[in-house]
Amino acid sequence: MDLYAPILVLAVLAAGFAIFSVTIAPFTGPKRWNRAKLDAYECGIEPTPQPVGGGRFPLKYMITAMLFIVFDIEIIFLYPWAVAFDRLGVFGLVEMVLFIVTVLVAYAYVWRRKGLDWD
Amino acid sequence: MNGTIQAPTIEYALLSPMLIVFGAAIIGVLIEAFAPRYLRKSIHMPLTLLALLGAFATTILGAANGLPTSASAMGAVAVDGPALFVWGIILILAFVSVLLINDDEQFVAQAAAVPGSSDEEEAVRSGYAQTEVYPLLLFAVGGMLLFSSANDLLAMFVGLEVMSLPLYLLCGLARRRRLLSQEASVKYFLLGAFSSAFFLYGMALVYGYTGTVSLRGIGDALGAGSGQETLLLIGTAMLGVGLLFKIGAAPFQAWKPDVYQGAPTAVTALMASTVLVAAFGAVLRVFWVALGGLEWNWQPVMWGIAILTMVVGAILAITQTDIKRMLAYSSVAHAGFLLTGVIATGAAAQNAKALSAILFYLAAYGFTTVGAFAVVTMVRDAGGEAGHLSRWAGLGKRSPFLAGVFAFFLLAFAGIPLTSGFFGKYAVFAAAVSGGAVPLVVVGVVSSAIAAFFYVRVIVLMFFNDPAADGPSIAVPTVGTSAVVALAAAATVVLGVFPQPVLDLADQAASALFIR
């Protein structure tokens, strides 16, 4: 059970921080309303009103999402390797380099095929 | 916690066919990225063919060096006799299919471009032509090699996905009847993803019972026999659903006609031949190596599925009016015939007999299929390939040679003596009889007779009906297409008249069964 205590503490801390920030923000933050503030947060298309005919996504969102997943997966594999780097030794290094080169090939393909250009 | 982790041993020489194919696929992606557009195809073609040849050569070399007695890559892959035989078939069939894919006419330059329109001209001029076909094909073939030789369920799943994902894409690239092709692609993807989920869930449940994903480990744990049997049985059923979907056994055959019809015919040729080969490799491994101790439980169900598959394939094929759909249902029926071999287990000698029969059948069927679809690509009218059967009427009068070759392929599908199909069927049914599955063989023979009806109907249509005035023309075949038809016809004749060398090879490959 001791093993899980830090997780519990972290969960309590995270929840506390979230509740604290959300409650305190309306009282302390400045309120200057403008058009940009009402836009969708950060990025993406307007969720409402839906375009006529059910709405179609521009393909570039899809490509961005897929690229995100590719690099996300890369990180998933990089992380445990970084943790066990010493113990995995040369074999681990070579395998990892091979893996990253393979992902890099995909990345080069996307770049050359203009998958990174927004417009 | 701080000791170094032992580096795994990997038998690079044994695994080199896979490594060559995957390496070439990655180089193919780089070519797509950096080579100028007008050069791409002329680099891809030799690269792809060389990679497949190289992989084939290393497969032969692997077989010549004597079969290993234990699994490779820390037990993840088993390069045994059956695996090498299956690899050989897959690589040759893929090589032949590449010759067929070389025909530009079949592939769309840009998904939205209508054939012959200014849009398409524009797309071709700016070089949007789909040369990605070649690296995609190599990835798919690499996946097949892994899928058919995986010795644990995880590696098998990775192989399954690496094989399937490029195929979903390839299905959507037809130049003519693009909507049908894109529909086929989406259907195949959705159903394929669904069946993969079944496979995964089954894997999780079997892991829950046995505590391992390695096929050998599962087999051993079944012997020990403890724990929740329900988990194991449901897991087995789900693994079965995932695998049987890939071979298109009834009741999981619904995707086959749609996908075979919609995909560019060259891709259909590749899928119809190689995927069946790879999937049977995997089915045999899972049901014989891992779940062999459970055969009293899965065999009755498999009996039902085999009977259903043969009957459904043969009967639904009769009602088809499109040549590609008809061949798709015929492929369903053939999957059923092959399943009778999977059921025919027994003592080691019986297993070896059944395995060798299945291997021979796969080789014979694969070649005939590629040849038949190659002929389909050549019969064209103004709108592209003339798929509707009525358009094939009188073809024998217009071009007797081509119609004759096609008739020969159909007879081979039907299993007429002096064709490869006869020895394939004979071997599988003989194995099934000695394995005690006589009722299955009766059903198999009856469905073969039903199937012969619709094969012969097409032959009658081609030779004894008058051609329509505006009937389809025979496209002047490219060198590649003629080579494919010639090769397939030669293989069908040789395996039908002089099958002994290949039968011996299959016997040798099967003699030691699967390594565990």
- Residues A18-34 have pLDDT tens digits of 999 999 998 888 887 77
Q: Which DSSP string corresponds to B54-68?
A: HHHHHHHHHHHT---
Q: Which chain A residue has the Cα nearest residue B33?
A: A109
* pLDDT value at residue B163: 96
Cα distance between residue B202 and residue B236, in whole Å: 6
Residues 6+ positions from B16 with CB-CB distance below 8 Å: B55, B58, B62
- CB A109 to CB B8 under 8 A? no
Cα distance between residue B122 and residue B106, in whole Å: 17
- Residues of chain A positioned with their CB less than 8 A from the CB of B2: 86-87
Single-letter amino acid code for the residue at B159? G
For residue B402, give its domain range. 12-511
Please state the ipTM of this predicted complex.
Answer: 0.82
Question: Helices B255-262 and B323-343 meet at what angle, rounded to 10?
Answer: 130
In a mutational test of the A interface, the residue from B9, B19, B30, B130 whose CB has the highest number of chain A CBs within 10 Å is B30
Cα distance between residue B342 and residue B283, in whole Å: 8
Among A87, A105, A112, whose Cβ lies nearest the Cβ of B5? Answer: A87
Contact B389, B458 (CB under 8 A): yes
**Res. A4 pLDDT band, cuts 50 70 90:** confident
- Give, as one character, the DSSP assignment of residue B384: E
- CB A87 to CB B3 under 8 A? yes
- Give, as one character, the DSSP assignment of residue B128: -
Residue B4 lies in a domain: no
Dihedral over alpha carbons A32, A38, A44, A48 (to 10 degrees): 180
* pLDDT value at residue B1: 47
- CB B4 to CB A105 under 8 A? no
Would you list which residues of chain B are within 8 Å, Cβ to Cβ, of chain A?
Answer: 2-5, 7-8, 26, 29-30, 32-34
Residue A11 lies in a domain: no
Among B3, B26, B33, whose Cβ lies nearest the Cβ of A112? Answer: B33
* pLDDT value at residue A44: 62
Cα distance between residue B172 and residue B259, in whole Å: 9
Specify the number of domains making up chain B. 1
- Return the structure tokens found at B305: 């599925």
Q: How far is B332 from chain A (nearest CA, A)?
A: 35
* pLDDT value at residue B240: 94
Residue B5 lies in a domain: no
Cα distance between residue B320 and residue B269, in whole Å: 19
Q: Which chain B residue has the Cα nearest residue A105?
A: B30
Q: For residue B174, report the phi and psi dihedrals to the nearest 5 degrees.
A: -65, 145
Residue A100 lies in a domain: yes
Cα distance between residue B223 and residue B292, in whole Å: 10
Residue A116 has pLDDT above 60, yes or no: yes
Among A84, A89, A109, whose Cβ lies nearest the Cβ of B33? Answer: A109
CATH number of domain containing A109: 1.20.58.1610
Specify the number of domains making up chain A. 1
Residue B2 lies in a domain: no
**Res. A42 pLDDT band, cuts 50 70 90:** low
CB pairs under 8 A between A and B: 37
Q: Which chain A residue has the Cα nearest residue B8?
A: A91
For residue A112, give its domain range. 55-119
The SS3 of residue B72 is: strand
Task: Report mean pLDDT in 10-residue bins for chain B, 516 residues.
Answer: 73 92 95 86 92 95 84 86 94 94 72 73 69 92 95 94 95 85 94 95 92 90 79 92 93 93 92 94 93 88 94 93 93 95 88 93 95 90 79 85 93 92 93 91 94 92 83 78 92 92 90 80
Cα distance between residue B133 and residue B87, in whole Å: 21
Cα distance between residue B228 and residue B400, in whole Å: 63
Helices (H), ranges, B285-343:
295-318, 323-343
The SS3 of residue B151 is: coil
Residue A27 lies in a domain: no
- Return the structure tokens found at B243: 């695998």
Residue A106 lies in a domain: yes
- CB B33 to CB A92 under 8 A? no
- CB A105 to CB B30 under 8 A? yes
* pLDDT value at residue A47: 59
